[in-house]
Amino acid sequence: MIADNPQMENSSRIADVCPQDGYEQIVFQDMYINRQGYGIVNVIYWHSKKYENPLYLLTNLEYAPQAESFYRKRYCIETFFGDIKSRGFNIHRTKISNPQTIFNLLIVASLAFIIAVLFEFDARRSELLPKFCRKNRIDHLSVFQIGFRGLLYYLKRSICISFQFSKNFP
């Protein structure tokens, strides 16, 4: 539901307000959504010819092309968060509620993510690769997963890890 007031008077379904043909985007600014009147948000109706059905984006951004640009990047962002959450560092299991502590944890996790991705270049060429990655599944793993598994293997066995940053990396 969408309305221009927090009491949700005269509210409508988003799909009923937006045309189905002829428009690529329509922006409804300063709107309230759902029965509780959550808001203020901007609602973007976005129907590219590439897609069968329109998308409805809720955002605090006022410039619709910027919101669309960020939406297109969500696959990379979601992959990153999946890697630092359930497929990697399991930060979703922490019981941290302090925003500053979460912020610091995300910085550390991001740096560890970068190290794992960089380590993948060495891990993929290592003769130890079969010890931490099955060769028949290596094509199904992300760069992060290979590097992360390699790092865990090296750390558990106290194998020396060293790599250098250079202009010519990798």
Per-residue pLDDT of the chain (170 residues; tens, 9 = 90+): 888 888 888 888 877 776 666 667 788 888 888 877 788 888 888 887 777 888 888 888 888 888 888 888 877 777 888 888 888 888 888 889 899 999 999 899 989 898 888 888 877 788 888 888 887 777 788 888 889 998 999 899 998 877 666 666 55
86 C-beta neighbours (distance < 10 Å), count: 12
pLDDT at 98: 92
pTM, rounded to two decimals: 0.57
For 39, the enclosing helix (H) or strand (E) is: strand 38-46
Query: Residue written as tokens 């750390």?
Result: 155
pLDDT at 82: 83
Query: Would you say 28 and 17 are in contact if contact means Cβ atoms under 8 Å apart?
Result: yes
Rg (CA), the chain: 23
Cα gap 6→33, rounded to integer Å: 8
Structure tokens at 10: 């005269």
